[in-house]
Amino acid sequence: MAAPTKKKQATPGPKTVLSFTDAAEKILHEVGKPQTHKHLAQKAITEKLVQTESETPEISMHVSIRSEMKRRELRGEPQRFVFLGNGVFSLVELVAGKPTEKTKTALDQVRESRREAAEVLYKKLTSVNNGPNFETMVADLLVAMGYQEVQVVGGKDDQGVDILCEKRDGLLKIRIAVQCKCKALNQKVSPKDISTLRDNLSTYQCQQGIVVTTSQLNDVAKTKAKEAGKEPIYYIEHDELLDLFAEHNVGIRSEPIRFYQVDASQYDFLK
């Protein structure tokens, strides 16, 4: 009689890596009470919820949560975190009570409208040759983000540089060359575009180069952008770009909407 074969146990797949904010939300849900940013960072790393090379992950956690809170405030979006002072954070629903079903539905509609607006904007930009219009929108975005001396220089002889701008870093001003690539997602930015921009930084007396695209860089281009011993080329791709357009109301308009529900943050009997 043949010996019974042992069943192979399934090997657990790799844990999903989360952003600092998503990891904080998960931990706060599990713990069910406010936590300091230091404890949140420590637990996120211990449980391998995040991957970071930062030597100060607790600061990264604090900055990430506060930055999201600021972004949502500017967009008029509901918050998921609340800052209680002294580095302590909680979830809004833990402090004020869970949102009602009507509120959840309304919030879903807000998120869906943002997604749809971004998708329509992308399709309109890439349906025809909208290169010059895209450069104008990126220039407007740079102005909205606080960059100075923004100048569109795109054209046949632009040598891979479409926009020039400056930003202040302490006492210094850094001059930046921006290359705009208005492409469909199936048309990736190539390493040649990275090389062209890098090679012409000195032509425009720039210290930094940024590629802004409605598409994405291919893997070789991303490697080229971080090539050792050479000036790094930064890049803003599809998702991040559309998010910035929405955040700064460039090509996407947001309308402030208020939602009302019972707030149990100050009155225990309302929970």
Say how many C-beta atoms besides its own lie within 10 A of residue 62's C-beta.
21
Region of residue 234 (left: phi > 0; alpha: psi -120 to 50; beta: else):
beta
Say how many C-beta atoms besides its own lie within 10 A of residue 18's C-beta.
18
Q: How far apart are CA 188 and CA 90, in angstroms?
A: 41
Q: How far apart are CA 117 and CA 253, in angstroms?
A: 9
pLDDT below 50 — which residues of the chain?
1, 7-8, 10-13
| pLDDT confidence of residue 216 | 95
Residue indicated by tokens 């940024």: 210
Write down the domain spans for the chain.
20-96, 124-247
Beta-ladder partners of 85 = 88
* pTM of the complete model: 0.61
Are the CB atoms for 69 and 79 separated by under 8 Å?
Answer: yes
Q: How far apart are CA 180 and CA 163, in angstroms?
A: 8
| pLDDT confidence of residue 12 | 47
| pLDDT confidence of residue 74 | 80
Identity of the amino acid at 56:
T
pLDDT, one tens digit per residue, over 126-180 is: 988 788 899 999 999 999 999 999 999 966 666 789 999 999 877 788 999 999 9
**CATH, range 124-247:** 3.40.1350.10
Helix 131-144 / helix 238-247 crossing angle, nearest 10 deg: 60
pLDDT, one tens digit per residue, over 230-248 is: 999 999 999 999 989 988 8
